[in-house]
Chain A
């Protein structure tokens, strides 16, 4: 396929957290607000005067200093963020809007709060409590938390306008990003997709880590470009897969899967777009904050939700995603030491093939995948097995007819 015009620039943006667009926005006097989790609504951090940066630690190989603080038995992602912070890679941050939504990222953010790591005298960390359910009680609680710990703090510390008008403006910009990302992502549903999983992962990650207004022109152009983009005459892939699981902000992981003969057509993992790039709807008579709180709770499919209908319903959601994106198989990944996804991956690997007839490959990975040789073998074997299944299914159908 023809190269996407902005892909290289976007790849560049992902090489470090404090990228060119972040620096540009800060030079304009805007505040950079870090966060790690979908439960911290990025739209609130994208109010005029500030912008959201979802933290990553690209190219972090061995988090040595962080391992002293957090031991070698915690998730590599959390430790890599800590390492990057200790190296000074997050000194550009003006604040960190934290959540206690998974243990190790919580501990990382608590270190930022307790130790003098971020070399920015005005830097502060603020925690919000996030509910485990999606009930009215949860929405009410979440809304109060976001008001007190995010909006009020942004206003108090940086003088950010947090009025309904300002929120509506932020929602408008956020929705445009979501519309464009979804539009681009929908090309993955085509019988022969005109965008690879890797390309889409790069675009998606850029929208999470760069100021939205700076990335929008590139997104608009890319969306236009996609309208006429033609697939390769001979596809390089043999099967289509959906990827679900824990935190993954490494496009090279997607590239690794795709180099084994599978194209990634759906990204249902933390930092992915499913869910994550749905538009926020503000109904008549509804406050923008209410709409935001409901949106983020209702769209999330995080394994942290505990009500029975949600625990079980997210398997159905995953199956629906696979169907919608015509995936032949599912790869469920979890980062080593991620407890939520260790369990979720285990049950997905049992239920998805049994109840939904979706071939599933279950793998455990590191934040940066140094063990790519082993993973490659697993993916190749999975692709072969799904291909065989497809052949058998095809033959069976033919025999039937």
Chain B
């Protein structure tokens, strides 16, 4: 009987594993990796439904769209040769576009059901918007024979100048940030590429200690790897010293009309708003002068109202994330989508995605579906994340049950913009501009960085993943006070050292080691999947 039962049980188990996928503790995801490369011996079996979903609706769907989007945004079939030329000319494009599905794999590892679907839609939106941006760059690029007419209608801006500044011309021009794709997106998809740019910056004598993000953003220009798609530029300070410094080198390399629109630092001060609002107006006059196109206020209002819709849905998402166990979006999808969307501004793809995600979100809440059932700790991630390991939260959940609910970057733009009067609109736009990515909680007074405590409470988090960007002077300058506060408040906080885009300073493996040490020695916990504790992905994308 026992043998028969045992065989039967085995068969049942096999059938269950085939249909549902293995239970979390039996997955052994670490066994799937090929040493060092981050490649898979074979991809994960997530159960029949989810594997088929991943294969059809993520892998095939996105590979397909990676071709059709090129045509969609590149003006039909002619988009394909344009794209190929770009791949051949620009390192950041060639080396990051093709392995993009591995970026999905890393971020969505171990995920199932609604969580997998909702997070994948976020990834899909970012991929689509990235294609849109670089196809516009290429279509207007004078280095690879792009259209002069498009060149005249494609202003460039620093990635922390909010796309909303250009809303009054969105019916005639299309603004493209300078570093968003060549630098920011690149780091997430293929972390090797950016190293060329950091080295390029240091090759002209720049010391190694300034923020490596700024170094990389300078190096792209020094390597002559930025498409020449723009007749003029709007730049900003990205509200940090290193970025101001970078602008000097960038300006030299760009060598074209440049309007500086720095974000004021003391943004709590009501006196600052008026000044910033006037800066925006000056910027608009500069754009009018350079482009010869007057502003369209209706267009501005329309886009702002649409952007407000995106913000309202984000608030709904935060509400579900904060107050229920049914939030279906994982930490990395939440962080990257939100920072991308809020900085980029109003685009059709964000609305399409939010519509799909809303359905999933509502379903999860109605049916009480917990996409992260193995959550042991609700984690809030604070300060700026390692770009080469933004998917650490996927690993941390799979290995330790650390569920990253929310992060600092997501919470930056916590506002809608009034459109009832010109004055109100301008004032709100000024404030939005001041709350630039990475900055709202980092400058303008230390109390902003300590908003962590109220957000911990709001999102019911019991643990902090404290990003420790080793070359960020602002965050390093407040290190000790955080230590003191963590002790005084008896908060479990894991310091995660990193150098933003530069994996050579602290590798992914070292980051995992730090988390492992904390979880075993301080928390005395056992891993959910011990095969994920240690593995070598040093050569992986």
Contacts and interface: CB of A to CB of B under 8 A. Distances in A.
Interface string B461-483: 00000000011011011111101
A137 B275 contact: yes
Contact of A344 (B245, B264, B282, B478): B245
B237 A132 contact: yes
B62 interface: no
Given A141-B275, A144-B271, A346 B204 contact: yes
Given A312-B251, A347-B249, A148 B271 contact: yes
Given A75-B473, A111-B481, A131-B275, A343 B260 contact: no
Contacts, number: 159
Nearest to B279: A137
A308 B256 CA distance: 9
A79 to B, nearest CB: 9
Contacts of B67: none
B240 interface: yes
A339 interface: yes
A342 B245 contact: yes
Given A129-B272, A141-B271, A303-B248, A110 B473 contact: no
A311 interface: yes
Contact of B479 (A70, A133, A148, A346): A70
Interface in A272-302: none
Interface string A356-370: 000000101000000
A130 to B, nearest CB: 8
Contacts of A127: 266, 445
B279 A73 contact: no
Interface string B179-210: 00000000000000000000000001111011
Interface stretch (A2-10, A18-26, A100-108, A227-235): A100-108
B444 interface: yes
Contacts of A68: 480, 483
A342 B476 CA distance: 18
B246 to A, nearest CB: 6
B413 to A, nearest CB: 21
A73 B249 contact: no
Contacts of A193: none
Contacts of B247: 306, 311
Contacts of A140: 275
Contact of B249 (A104, A129, A343): A343
B241 interface: yes
Given A141-B275, A350-B204, A311 B251 contact: yes
The A contact surface, by secondary structure, is: helix
A349 interface: yes
A88 interface: no
B209 A306 contact: no
A132 B205 contact: no
B260 A303 contact: no
B264 A73 contact: no
Given A100-B444, A343-B210, A308 B477 contact: no
A129 B209 contact: no
Nearest to A302: B244
Contact of B474 (A107, A338, A345): A107
Interface in B194-253: 204-207, 209-211, 214, 218, 235, 237, 240-242, 244-249, 251-252
B260 A342 contact: no
Nearest to B480: A69
Given A100-B265, A100-B443, A306 B244 contact: yes
Contacts of B473: 73-75, 103-104, 107, 337, 339
A132 B260 contact: yes
Given A107-B474, A132-B260, A343 B443 contact: no
A62 interface: no
A73 B471 contact: yes
A73 B248 contact: no
B252 A73 contact: no
A320 to B, nearest CB: 19
A23 B491 CA distance: 44
Given A133-B260, A343-B206, A303 B279 contact: no
A80 B453 CA distance: 30
B202 to A, nearest CB: 9
Of A75, A100, A339, most B-chain CB atoms within 10 Å: A339
B271 A145 contact: yes
Nearest to B475: A71
Given A303-B248, A306-B247, A104 B275 contact: no
B242 A69 contact: no
Contact of A339 (B242, B257, B443): B242
A75 B305 CA distance: 44
Across the A-B interface, give the 4 residue pairs with the lowest CB-CB distance, nearest first: A343-B245, A107-B477, A69-B480, A141-B275
Given A70-B477, A337-B209, A347-B249, 14 more contacts: A73-B471, A106-B477, A107-B478, A111-B481, A129-B269, A133-B260, A133-B262, A304-B241, A307-B260, A308-B258, A336-B209, A338-B241, A343-B210, A343-B248
